[in-house]
Each structure stands twice: as C-alpha cells, then as structure tokens.
Amino acid sequence: MKKLIVFAIAIFGFTAVSFGQATANAPASATIITPISLSKTTDMNFGNIAVNNAIGTVLLTPASTRTPGGGVTLPAAAGTVAAAVFTVGGAGTNSFSITLPSGDFLITRASGSETMVVNGFTSTPSGTGALVGGTATINVGATLNVGASQVAGVYTNVGGFAVTVNYN
C-alpha cells in the first residue's frame, strides 16, 4: 500500500497542470443591406444645334446648360436640352462610387450612317456620392463632337451609355 501511495504521489505530483490556456467564445454576425440600384430617369439630349463648315462641340453640363464651340451655334429654338439623370437607391446614408464612360460613345443619324462622338462625361456628384434616406440623384453631362457640315437629322444610340455605381 505504501508503494501505491508513493507511486500515486509521484504520478500526480509531477503532472503539469496548465493554467496558461484560456478559452472564450465570440458570436458571429452579419448585416445584409439593401442592394444598391441605379435607374435612368431622364435621357441625355443636346437639343437643337446649327453647324457650319467647321468642326465644333457642344458642352452639356450636369446642370443641363450648353456651351457651343468651334463651328457650332445654338439656335433660339433650343429643343429638348437635358443632362442624363439617374436615381440611386440603397441603404440609409451609405456612400457610393460613380463610374462614367471613359471613352468615346457614338450616336448615329436615324436612317443614315453618319455619326457623332460623345465623350468627356461629367457628373454631379462627381466620383462619389452619398445616399440620403436611401436615395440619391446623379446628373450626367458630356461633350458632343460635331463634324464640319454635319448632315442634318436626329442622332441617337438606342443602347445608351453605361453609368455604374458601387457601395464604398
């Protein structure tokens, strides 16, 4: 029996008890927010433009004002002039980035093959925006490049140009 007690003391006496380890639990969670959305509410329209035999431009601002350049004049009968307008929808007051077309966008004369280039896209807000109550508005302007003696007619691109928004 004495040997058994000595043996038990030897085993338990030299057994290392680890107090250097601790365990804690952390809960996991996730918040699903409303997906960001974008819808077009107004088409871009440069309005009525008169041209001569020189190359020209029409700068359409996000505020729907026009500035002619080169061989372009703006007649008193302006026609429909409008910057493109988009509505952003999403969660609360989240911020978002805006990506505008970076290259040339062609519009073609109805019943013809003549084209004009639209480029230099700008927006208000520019680059980023913030939702207010889950919504925001983006106004988009651009520059229309008009050829010398451009053929008269209505020029369009039915497919439209792409604007992209993403949560920051």
Four-point Cα dihedral 54, 44, 67, 120, nearest 10: -80
What radius of gyration, in Å, describes the C-alpha atoms of the chain? 33
Three-class secondary structure assignment of 50-63:
EEEEEEEEEEECCC
**Displacement of CA 35 from its chain's centroid (Å):** 14
Give exposure, 115-125, as e/b (b: 16+ Cβ within 10 Å).
Answer: bbbbbbbbbeb
Give exposure, 130-164, as e/b (b: 16+ Cβ within 10 Å).
Answer: ebeeeebebbbbbbbbbbeebeeeebeeeeebebe
State which H helix or E strand residue 10 sits in: helix 2-13
Position 6 pLDDT exceeds 80: no
Q: Is the peptide bond before 125 cis (omega within 30 degrees of 0)?
A: yes
Query: What is the mean predicted confidence (pLDDT) over 64-78?
Result: 97
Q: What is the pLDDT of residues 11-41, one digit of tens each?
A: 555 555 557 899 999 999 999 999 999 999 9
Average pLDDT, the chain: 92
User: In the block, which residue shows the tokens 């359409």?
Assistant: 60
Position 86 pLDDT exceeds 80: yes
Position 5 pLDDT exceeds 70: no
Higher pLDDT among residues 3 and 101, named by residue: 101
Residue type, 141: G
